Amino acid sequence: MKKHNYSAGPCILPQKVFKEAAQGILDYQDSGLSIMEISHRSTAFVEVMEEARSLSLELLGLKDKGYTALFLQGGASMQFLMTAYNLLNKKAAYLNTGTWSSKAIKEARLFGEVIEVASSKEKNFNYIPKDYQIPGDIDYFHCTSNNTIFGTQMKDFPEVDAPVVCDMSSDIFSRELDFSKFDLIYAGAQKNMGPAGTTLVVVKKDILGKVEREIPSMLNYKVHIEKDSMFNTPAVYAVYVSLLTLRWIKKNGGIKAMEKRNAEKADLLYKEIDRNPLFKGFAEVEDRSAMNATFNLTDESKKEAFDKLWKDAGINGLNGHRSVGGYRASMYNALDLESVKVLVKTMQQLEQQS
């Protein structure tokens, strides 16, 4: 039976990528060696890294605009620390929209004053704050574009007279934005880009080198840039699979096509959530995520019946995060519309049984 993978991350990737990646494990480019055993200093892998970095910038529309792309380790959680280490001199402003924003704030407070300009915590992060004021004397502003756990997504970004840092871990490459408005973007690969193990960092080079503290080499963006993202042994396989996924995105129409694909999926599922009296959405309508739809049953006594229906239909990873409960359908780039149709059908079957 075909599986319909709604896991929040590690998550679904294109079948074409899985096939190419599997071949690369067995024999990379007819070399007689696996991609996992060739030297990371070899010409073969250096070309992988360089193409992945270049293609990331190309897809985001940031080539030749003063940016560089890095593939680092430690996940987005390491970036909570690295962004502050490299950018926070005295004061930074953070928008708190969920668990990951809260963790980023905690790390940043180790390095200077952090102003929480707004928070949606009082409603369990089911909306994106609006009309907040950002101080003018900050080193940078930090936000999280999409909140995987709570199913909210920023539709607009504030105009800030300071560098803008954005955690785009769960919606990178999923929708068109003016990415030049951001000075530093970071994203764990395991949502829309590849397997767990590497993190994409896209940074405008001229914002670096302005803090007074000494930065350890492994946490210093400038060191990684100078070494072409190869200061230490990179996560070779994770970078390789990320490259295959980036190629797939480009071949299938780039970010514009991904956005159209994702809008169709989200519209279909949210229409059913709003139509079906047995379900209710968790996030405020205007802030709903196209990547992660969170919803609950209106009658918890039907949980056992619904769980059986979606599991029997081959659906995987639909349970919601413990912070929200209910269900979470993660609809990343590689998820097909057909999978959403299967989920909608199970929701309608539950209604018919009632």
Indicate which CATH number applies to the domain containing 325: 3.90.1150.10
Check whether residue 138 and residue 269 sit in a common domain. no
Q: Which residues contact 285 (CB under 8 A, 6 or more apart)?
A: none
Burial of residue 118 (number of CB atoms within 10 Å: 0-12, 13-18, 19+): middle
4 lies in some domain: no
Parallel/antiparallel/unpaired status of strands 152-153 and 164-167: unpaired
pLDDT in the model for residue 2: 84
Check whether residue 164 and residue 24 sit in a common domain. yes
Check whether residue 239 and residue 261 sit in a common domain. no
Check whether residue 267 and residue 138 sit in a common domain. no
Q: Read off the tokens for 47.
A: 């070309």
Domain CATH for 100: 3.40.640.10
Task: Express each pLDDT in 198-244 by its tens digit.
Answer: 999 999 999 999 999 999 999 999 999 999 999 999 999 999 999 99
Q: CB neighbours (10 Å) of residue 209? A: 11
How far, in Å, CA of 60 to CA of 336, rounded? 23
Task: Express each pLDDT in 63-120 by its tens digit.
Answer: 999 999 999 999 999 999 999 999 999 999 999 999 999 999 999 999 999 999 999 9
Q: Which residues contact 315 (CB under 8 A, 6 or more apart)?
A: 3, 4, 6, 339, 342, 343, 346
87 lies in some domain: yes
Check whether residue 132 and residue 115 sit in a common domain. yes
pLDDT in the model for residue 334: 97
Check whether residue 239 and residue 331 sit in a common domain. no
5 lies in some domain: no
Check whether residue 244 and residue 260 sit in a common domain. no
- Selecting among 139, 167, 171, 183, the annotated active-site residue is 167
Listed residues 221, 251, 281: the one ending a domain? 251
SS3 assignment for 29-48:
HHCCCCCCCCCCCCHHHHHH
- Selecting among 100, 204, 265, 310, the annotated active-site residue is 100
63 lies in some domain: yes
How far, in Å, CA of 165 to CA of 211, rounded? 16
Question: Is 191 assigned a catalytic role?
Answer: yes
Alpha carbon 349 to chain centroid distance? 32
Domain total for the chain? 2
Check whether residue 236 and residue 338 sit in a common domain. no
Task: Express each pLDDT in 237-283 by its tens digit.
Answer: 999 999 999 999 999 999 999 999 999 999 999 999 999 999 999 99
Parallel/antiparallel/unpaired status of strands 91-96 and 146-147: unpaired
Is residue 9 a contact partner of residue 191, using CB atoms and an 8 Å limit? yes
- Selecting among 139, 171, 191, 310, the annotated active-site residue is 191
146 lies in some domain: yes
For residue 49, what is the DSSP state? H
308 lies in some domain: yes
Question: Is 310 assigned a catalytic role?
Answer: no
Check whether residue 101 and residue 215 sit in a common domain. yes
- State which residues form the domain around 269: 254-353
Question: Is 167 assigned a catalytic role?
Answer: yes
Nearest partner of 188 among 100, 66, 255, judged by Cα: 100
Listed residues 200, 231, 251: the one ending a domain? 251
Q: Read off the tokens for 214.
A: 């000494």
pLDDT above 80: residue 1 = no
Check whether residue 273 and residue 219 sit in a common domain. no
pLDDT in the model for residue 174: 98
Question: pTM score, two decimals?
Answer: 0.97
Check whether residue 53 and residue 154 sit in a common domain. yes
Nearest partner of 262 among 192, 198, 318, 328, judged by Cα: 192
Listed residues 225, 251, 277: the one ending a domain? 251
Check whether residue 220 and residue 267 sit in a common domain. no
Is residue 202 a contact partner of residue 184, using CB atoms and an 8 Å limit? yes
